[in-house]
């Protein structure tokens, strides 16, 4: 799992004890299986995590497809799906109970380009993907709430004034 997951309710693993070898939460699949959270049996943990050695040593045709960015072979989620299927691992879904978040002061690289730039009223964190929050509420048995009630507006950051040399450089490069 990830350190930037916020668990909206308990993550009950007892229901997952009897069943397939791998469990992943619903959502964020991108033509494969989400790479953010995994529950795996003791017997299958090494097979589930042995992604890149298998790709480079035993799956040259699969590696070529990813290097050429063929359709459905373009991201970590699709890589997990192909490797786990070829390894014969059975994957099941469970209701999402967590969502990605950030707190004030986290770097832009932590927030990424998909950051929603909104703060959740209910838990006082910045939300990264609105869909994950919606799925987590559903997975935790919480009623849906109107989107306009989710957020508190974030304070606007003051624009930094450029110093003289920066302004001069900007003007000169525009002339070139």
| Greater model confidence, 176 or 44 | 44
| Strand-pair category, 91-94 with 22-25 | parallel
The residues pairing with 127 across neighbouring beta strands, listed in sequence order, are: 101, 118
Which tens digits make up the pLDDT trace of 43-102?
Answer: 888 989 988 888 888 888 888 888 888 887 778 898 899 899 988 999 988 899 998 887
Global pTM exceeds 0.85? no
Which residue matches tokens 């927030």?
Answer: 111
Which tens digits make up the pLDDT trace of 123-158?
Answer: 778 877 778 888 999 999 988 877 666 666 555 656
Residue 139: the pLDDT is 93
Closest CA to 97 of 3, 8, 5, 4: 8
Confidence of residue 116 (pLDDT cuts 50, 70, 90): low
| Greater model confidence, 119 or 59 | 59
CA Rg, the chain, in Å? 21
| Greater model confidence, 30 or 146 | 30
Which tens digits make up the pLDDT trace of 54-67?
Answer: 888 888 888 888 88
What CA–CA distance (Å, rounded) separates 23 from 34? Answer: 10
Residue 162: the pLDDT is 64
């Amino acid at each position: 799992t990830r350190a930037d997951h916020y668990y909206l309710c308990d993550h009950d693993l007892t229901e997952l004890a009897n069943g397939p070898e791998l469990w992943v939460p619903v959502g964020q699949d991108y033509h494969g299986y989400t790479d953010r959270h995994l529950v795996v049996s003791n017997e299958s943990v090494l097979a589930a995590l042995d992604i890149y050695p298998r790709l480079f040593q035993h799956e040259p045709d699969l590696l070529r497809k990813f290097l050429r960015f063929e359709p459905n072979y373009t991201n970590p989620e699709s890589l997990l799906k192909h490797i786990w299927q070829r390894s014969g691992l059975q994957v099941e879904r469970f209701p999402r109970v967590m969502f990605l978040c950030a707190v004030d002061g986290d770097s832009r690289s932590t927030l990424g380009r998909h950051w929603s730039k909104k703060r959740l009223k209910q838990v006082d964190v910045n939300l990264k993907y609105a869909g994950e929050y919606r799925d987590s509420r559903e997975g935790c048995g919480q009623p849906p709430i109107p989107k306009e009630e989710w957020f508190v507006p974030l304070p606007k950051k003051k624009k930094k004034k450029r110093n003289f040399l920066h302004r001069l450089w900007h003007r000169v490069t525009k002339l070139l």
